[in-house]
């Protein structure tokens, strides 16, 4: 009995384990056979979304070709990031449009892209997922690029008609118009936040003075003691922040500056002025090379980095501003913040905030011509500066604008009132002249209360005098009081001044 009990127990345990494994395997098979279920996120939005990509599909091929088309052989980091972002947005859109369709419906054609009911709900789906309006706008632009690319390259393979593309693009145009309203509101909120964090002119001047003092000190310390990571990072932040304050350029201009740009710098005025031209930046296709104009002291700082004296990897790096490993900087704002705190300044700081302060100061204190020159030197136009960089009006300036508006309103009211009074006076003078002419011609009006002409001869002289006194009173009643020639009208300009 004792020997058989363990064997029975082992048999029962193995049979139970086997049955549980069978049940688990059966459940997995049923899950594979059942249609794709909505995830909680998708169910919340009311749309079913494909959660894994299908290999070998036509839309995957089309998106890959669109990525290569956007890249166009360029090898820059920014170009690669932009092309990858376009592909990511297009893949996310295709997963949404596919939904719960079987693989056979999406593998060999792109007819699912013409599902108008799904397309109309896509902006709301993204909004409910938590995407910002500006991101939704960018996604919509990339979706338009996908449809245009499929129309021009994969028209036959997609099995879509030209009319289908026209209808979809027409719908996307309407969706973009609706998104644009949310984008404007979002930009105003961001601009308000940027206005609240606007850098003060005293802070920028304090940073410039600290940079002029600390940059030579940090260089001497590195030359004497060798490479120190904290000193190297702080020095990078000081020099990049200094150049951004005096020029207003984007951080990409500084991170893209190479040793070749410094070596080919143009110099004049007996070697005391230098100009460095940087090829790679955001708006190079519109404004060309970004220009940095420096004096001899500032240029000597860049020459020190050019010679690789900052660190052991400095000689191997092609960029002026680099990490301790000789790589290009990817987050220059972190280095700027180190220098900002080293200078004893508080509050948030970034290259974008410095650029906003430059644009705001130019808009408030420079003429239109000078402001255009500064904006072009910063590689953007004044319209872009007013839209994205110039701070919103302060409370005092906003109240001053209100006062000016009410001043214009009251001036217009007085002007209209003066015109109306002048018009009444002109009409009264015209009526008075007509009445005087009629009295001179002795054309007396016929009154209803006058007696017949035959009875005039029998009237006494006393009655005639009474009638003659009544007639001017009746004229005044008909034509109004006669204006006095002694009263003078104020000119309209004086009224507006009052």
pLDDT in tens, 104-140: 777 888 999 999 999 999 999 999 999 999 999 999 9
More reliable by pLDDT, 420 or 70: 70
Residue 334 backbone zone (phi > 0: left; psi -120 to 50: alpha; other: beta): alpha
pLDDT in tens, 34-77: 333 333 344 344 455 554 555 578 999 999 999 999 988 888 77
Q: What angle do CA 41, 45, 48 make, to 5 degrees?
A: 75
Task: Return the pLDDT at 44.
Answer: 40
User: Which of 245-254, 384-393, 486-495 bottoms out in mean pLDDT, i.e. has the lowest?
Assistant: 486-495
pLDDT surpassing 90 at residue 6: no
| Confidence label for 387 from pLDDT (cuts 50, 70 and 90) | low
More reliable by pLDDT, 6 or 312: 312
pLDDT surpassing 60 at residue 467: no
pLDDT (mean) for 346-367: 88
pLDDT (mean) for 164-179: 93
Task: Return the pLDDT at 12.
Answer: 44
| Confidence label for 243 from pLDDT (cuts 50, 70 and 90) | very high
Q: What percent of the chain has pLDDT over 70?
A: 71
Terminal CA-CA length for the chain:
121
Is residue 386 exposed (0-12), middle (13-18) or buried (19+ Cβ within 10 Å)?
middle
pLDDT surpassing 80 at residue 463: no
What does the alpha-carbon distance between residue 183 and residue 180 come to, in Å, rounded to a whole number?
5
Please tell me the pTM assigned to this model: 0.61
Listed in sequence order, the residues at least 6 apart from 315 whose beta carbon sits closer than 8 Å to its beta carbon are: 308
Task: Return the pLDDT at 70.
Answer: 92
For residue 79, how far is the Cα from the chain centroid? 22
Dihedral, CA of residue 95, residue 98, residue 100 and residue 106, to nearest 10? -120
Q: How many CB atoms lie within 10 A of CB 201?
A: 11
For residue 203, how far is the Cα from the chain centroid? 26
| Confidence label for 191 from pLDDT (cuts 50, 70 and 90) | confident
| Confidence label for 281 from pLDDT (cuts 50, 70 and 90) | confident
Listed in sequence order, the residues at least 6 apart from 351 whose beta carbon sits closer than 8 Å to its beta carbon are: 240, 244, 250, 251, 332, 333, 336
Task: Return the pLDDT at 40.
Answer: 37
pLDDT (mean) for 180-198: 81
Which residues partner with 322 through β-bridges? 328
pLDDT surpassing 50 at residue 30: no
pLDDT surpassing 80 at residue 355: yes
pLDDT surpassing 60 at residue 169: yes
pLDDT (mean) for 238-249: 93
Task: Return the pLDDT at 302.
Answer: 93
pLDDT (mean) for 466-480: 51
Are the CB atoms for 196 and 357 separated by under 8 Å? Answer: no
pLDDT (mean) for 428-435: 64
More reliable by pLDDT, 82 or 101: 82
| Confidence label for 392 from pLDDT (cuts 50, 70 and 90) | low
pLDDT (mean) for 237-257: 92
pLDDT (mean) for 230-252: 92
What does the alpha-carbon distance between residue 3 and residue 6 come to, in Å, rounded to a whole number?
6
User: Which of 138-147, 296-305, 383-392, 464-473 bottoms out in mean pLDDT, i.e. has the lowest?
Assistant: 464-473
pLDDT (mean) for 83-108: 88
User: Which of 102-116, 229-243, 432-446 bottoms out in mean pLDDT, i.e. has the lowest?
Assistant: 432-446
Which residues partner with 276 through β-bridges? 292
Task: Return the pLDDT at 427.
Answer: 66
pLDDT surpassing 50 at residue 33: no
pLDDT, mean over the chain: 77
Task: Return the pLDDT at 16.
Answer: 41
How long is the chain? 498
Averaging pLDDT over each range in 5-19, 397-411, 484-498, which range is the top one? 397-411
């Amino acid at each position: 009995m004792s020997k058989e009990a363990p064997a029975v127990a082992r048999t029962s345990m193995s049979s139970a384990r086997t049955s549980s494994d069978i049940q688990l395997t059966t459940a997995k098979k049923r899950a594979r056979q059942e249609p794709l279920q909505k995830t909680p996120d998708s169910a919340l939005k009311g749309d079913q979304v494909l959660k894994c990509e299908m290999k070998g599909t036509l839309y995957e091929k089309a998106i890959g070709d669109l990525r290569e088309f956007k890249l166009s052989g360029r090898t820059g980091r920014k170009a690669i990031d932009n092309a990858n972002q376009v592909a990511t947005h297009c893949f996310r859109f295709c997963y949404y449009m596919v939904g719960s369709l079987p693989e056979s419906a999406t593998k060999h054609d792109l007819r699912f892209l013409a599902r108008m009911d799904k397309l109309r709900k896509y902006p709301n789906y993204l909004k409910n997922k938590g995407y910002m309006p500006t991101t939704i706008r960018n996604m919509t632009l990339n979706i338009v690029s996908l449809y245009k690319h499929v129309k021009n390259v994969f028209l036959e393979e997609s099995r879509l008609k030209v009319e289908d593309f026209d209808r979809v693009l027409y719908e996307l145009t309407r969706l973009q118009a609706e998104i644009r309203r949310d984008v404007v509101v979002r930009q105003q909120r961001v601009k308000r936040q940027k206005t609240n964090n606007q850098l003060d002119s005293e802070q920028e001047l304090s940073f410039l003075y600290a940079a002029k003092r600390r940059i030579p000190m940090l260089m001497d310390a590195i030359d004497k003691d060798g490479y120190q990571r904290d000193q190297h990072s702080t020095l990078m932040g000081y020099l990049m922040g200094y150049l951004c304050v005096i020029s207003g350029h984007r951080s990409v201009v500084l991170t893209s500056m190479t040793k070749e740009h410094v070596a080919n710098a143009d110099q004049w005025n007996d070697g005391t002025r230098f100009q460095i031209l940087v090829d790679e930046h955001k708006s190079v296709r519109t404004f060309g090379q970004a220009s940095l104009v420096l004096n001899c002291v500032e240029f000597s700082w860049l020459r020190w980095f050019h010679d690789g004296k900052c660190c052991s990897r400095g000689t191997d790096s092609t960029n002026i501003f680099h990490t301790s490993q000789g790589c290009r900087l990817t987050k220059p704002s972190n280095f700027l913040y180190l220098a900002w705190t080293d200078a004893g300044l508080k509050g948030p700081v970034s290259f974008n905030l410095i650029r906003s302060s430059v644009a705001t100061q130019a808009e408030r204190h420079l003429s239109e011509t000078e402001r255009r020159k500064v904006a072009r030197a910063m590689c953007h136009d004044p319209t872009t500066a007013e839209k994205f960089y110039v701070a919103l009006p302060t409370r005092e300036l906003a109240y001053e604008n209100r006062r000016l508006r009410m001043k214009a309103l009251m001036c217009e009211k007085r002007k209209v009132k003066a015109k109306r009074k002048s018009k009444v006076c002109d009409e009264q003078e015209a009526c008075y002249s007509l009445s005087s002419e009629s009295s001179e011609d002795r054309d007396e009006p016929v009154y209803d209360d006058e007696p017949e002409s035959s009875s005039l001869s029998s009237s006494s002289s006393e009655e005639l005098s009474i009638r003659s006194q009544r007639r001017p009173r009746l004229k005044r009643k008909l034509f109004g009081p006669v204006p006095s020639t002694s009263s003078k009208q104020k000119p309209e300009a004086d009224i507006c001044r009052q």
